[in-house]
Structure 1
Amino acid sequence: MTRLLYVFICVISSQIQLTAQASLNDYKYIIVPKQFDFLNAQDQYQTSSLTKFLFNKHGYTVFFDDDDLPQDLSENRCLGLKSDIKKIKGFLITKLQIDLVDCKGNVVISSAIGETKVKEYQKAYQIAIREAFVTYQFFDYKYVPSISAKSIDTNTSNLDEIARLKMEVEALKGNKGNVVPIPEVKALELNESSKTKNGDLNQAAKGLLGVEVLASTSVKEDMLYAQPITNGFQIVDTQPKKVMILLDTGTPDVFIVKGEDSIVYKKEGFWVYAVNSGENLQLSVLNLKF
């Protein structure tokens, strides 16, 4: 009976640890206060510095609460967890527990209690923090963005490119003085297999783009394939060799080409590669398969 009870406790503990780790993986950052509630001054006894050091050491991305925060965290504080150290009452003993608290004030994970009988405050607090932190150092932590967070979890360069994309889309839609709109083509009913046979792709695409747009249009008949990646697709040819990266814009079938002043969008069943230099518009039809 004792052995069965021991096995049961081990199984339950493992399940709790896996659940805690899964919850922790939902968060991208750890925010450490410069002063914990039980202390009288900022970073007193180096408690905040030690806490930040330990989280950094074990693979977490950590900021003090008065640091310049990343743009995504500034815009959405729910991407981070606040580390809160609680002092637990004890007779002639120092006891500390490290909680990770979400943006709504809910405790996501609590550490084991670190304790020591050392009387000197600085040594006692640092020993107790290190003991409590053992809970977090053995997690195989890796941030996994939730579906709702993926649109927010974008680095600065991608945000700049998306802003540029919006300008290009507006140019495609409304720059009537310089760009002739792409005509609507209602008679294209080619299936995927027929588009590439007997020059149908070339002919149909010229019907789609066959209008003067202050630059030449072209058809690229080399087969390309889209491979899903975070926030978009990697486009490869038949070798396979990477051709470009397409980034999601939040608009269906419209992508920004990473590192270029261009977009790829779907028009009448065809994928169009558009480059707008600010003076003219150049279009190409891609033989692209998702």
Structure 2
Amino acid sequence: MASNVFSQTNLNNYKYVIVAKKFDFLKKTNEYRLNELSQFLFNKYGFEALIEGEEYPSDLLVNRCLGLKADVLKDSGMFKTKLSVELKDCNDRIVYTSEVGESREKQFDKAYTEALRNAFISIEALNYKYVPNEAILASTSSNIGSDNSDEVKKLREEVQALREKKELEENIEEIKNRSNPVFEKPKVSAQLPVEKLTTKHEILYAQAIDHGFQLVDSTPSVVYKIKKTGIDNVFLVEGKNATLYQKEDKWILEYYENDQLIQEVLTIKF
């Protein structure tokens, strides 16, 4: 049975979930991609999830108690794989434990994936929605300093930039869903139609820069700056809510305009 140590309102007071980069019952970091799948499912059900050790948002760096630490536990079972999700606060107190998710699959990758998804059914039922807690926010403000307005302004700008980054990363998640069976593929009914598919014949030349490339035309002028992601041949476009990825032998620039999906085929020389 799921354990709610605190009320749902209190659980909603936590802004982030930090997923352990390695679960104790596994031998390797992100083995069977379970840690990555956990992050994906938390995000799917309304949380803002991070992997332990990656770059944290500024407000979380100031106040670690804004986040919950997430771990996945394995229960013993003769013919079933049983997993549950546990959330702890910054003082290592258990805040929530999910229902046990089960699977009868014999292959470890399929069994762990199915059991974890089943454990998250009870987390989906929480209908989580972040509600700021005055005590927690006051603690954050006191750490920053009430008279340091420049620092507060900088913090707000960084948080806004991270939100924009998250929107771009959601585009990457859609690409993952199309190619990786671990992630759920979007339903056809939920996909927006491509309003315009165009091919730009002007050749762009890729020049290496920090964390990516700049694409220049024959003038030469910089047309785009693109940054590497954790996925091969998928880039974030700097200053534009768009992704650039390779499909077969084509480079596709993809973005939304007025709620319609736009795709442009670019000719790039690397």
TM-score normalised over the length of structure 2 = 0.50
Unaligned runs of 5+ in 1: 1-12, 167-290
The alignment-based identity, stated in percent, is 40
Distance, in Å, in 2 between the alignment partners of 1:160 and 1:68 is: 27
1:150 pairs with 134, 137, 142, which one?
137
Asked whether the 8 Å contact 2:19–2:39 carries over to 1, the reply is yes
1:95 pairs with 57, 60, 82, which one?
82
Residues 138-159 of structure 1: CA deviation (Å, up to 9, x unaligned): 22322222222223557xxxx9
1:36 pairs with 23, 46, 69, which one?
23
Distance, in Å, in 2 between the alignment partners of 1:165 and 1:83 is: 29
Matches of residues 166-177 of structure 1 in structure 2 within 5 Å? none
The alpha carbon displacement at 1:164 in A equals 7.2
Asked whether the 8 Å contact 1:83–1:100 carries over to 2, the reply is yes
What SS does structure 1 have at the residue aligned with 2:120? Answer: helix
Distance, in Å, in 2 between the alignment partners of 1:165 and 1:54 is: 32
Which has a greater percent of strand?
2
Letter in 2 for 1:72: D
| Closer/same/farther in 2, CA of residues 66 and 146 from structure 1, 3 Å limit | same
Asked whether the 8 Å contact 2:84–2:100 carries over to 1, the reply is yes
| Closer/same/farther in 2, CA of residues 72 and 36 from structure 1, 3 Å limit | same
Letter in 1 for 2:113: Q
Distance, in Å, in 1 between the alignment partners of 2:121 and 2:91 is: 25
Distance, in Å, in 2 between the alignment partners of 1:17 and 1:36 is: 22
Which one has the largest radius of gyration? 1
For 2:114, the equivalent position in structure 1 comes to 127
Residues 252-282 of structure 1: CA deviation (Å, up to 9, x unaligned): xxxxxxxxxxxxxxxxxxxxxxxxxxxxxxx
The alpha carbon displacement at 1:163 in A equals 2.8
For 1:47, the equivalent position in structure 2 comes to 34
For 2:67, the equivalent position in structure 1 comes to 80
Letter in 2 for 1:44: E
| Closer/same/farther in 2, CA of residues 149 and 118 from structure 1, 3 Å limit | same
Distance, in Å, in 1 between the alignment partners of 2:147 and 2:120 is: 38
Which consecutive segments of 4 or more residues in structure 1 shift more than 6 A? none
For 1:106, the equivalent position in structure 2 comes to 93
Residues 64-102 of structure 1: CA deviation (Å, up to 9, x unaligned): 111100111112111100111110011121100101111
Letter in 1 for 2:51: F
What SS does structure 1 have at the residue aligned with 2:149? Answer: helix
Asked whether the 8 Å contact 1:145–1:153 carries over to 2, the reply is no
Distance, in Å, in 2 between the alignment partners of 1:66 and 1:98 is: 19
Residues 179-211 of structure 1: CA deviation (Å, up to 9, x unaligned): xxxxxxxxxxxxxxxxxxxxxxxxxxxxxxxxx
Distance, in Å, in 2 between the alignment partners of 1:18 and 1:36 is: 22
Residues 212-243 of structure 1: CA deviation (Å, up to 9, x unaligned): xxxxxxxxxxxxxxxxxxxxxxxxxxxxxxxx
The alpha carbon displacement at 1:52 in A equals 0.4
Distance, in Å, in 2 between the alignment partners of 1:76 and 1:88 is: 33
Unaligned runs of 5+ in 2: 154-270
Matches of residues 249-264 of structure 1 in structure 2 within 5 Å? none
Asked whether the 8 Å contact 1:26–1:146 carries over to 2, the reply is yes
Matches of residues 261-280 of structure 1 in structure 2 within 5 Å? none
Asked whether the 8 Å contact 1:111–1:136 carries over to 2, the reply is yes
For 2:174, the equivalent position in structure 1 comes to none
* Aligned residues between the structures: 149
Asked whether the 8 Å contact 2:101–2:118 carries over to 1, the reply is yes
Distance, in Å, in 2 between the alignment partners of 1:104 and 1:18 is: 14
The alpha carbon displacement at 1:26 in A equals 1.5
Distance, in Å, in 2 between the alignment partners of 1:81 and 1:92 is: 32
Distance, in Å, in 2 between the alignment partners of 1:28 and 1:106 is: 17
The alpha carbon displacement at 1:18 in A equals 11
For 1:174, the equivalent position in structure 2 comes to none
| Closer/same/farther in 2, CA of residues 18 and 137 from structure 1, 3 Å limit | farther
Distance, in Å, in 1 between the alignment partners of 2:126 and 2:16 is: 15
Asked whether the 8 Å contact 1:20–1:109 carries over to 2, the reply is no
Distance, in Å, in 2 between the alignment partners of 1:150 and 1:75 is: 10
Letter in 2 for 1:28: K
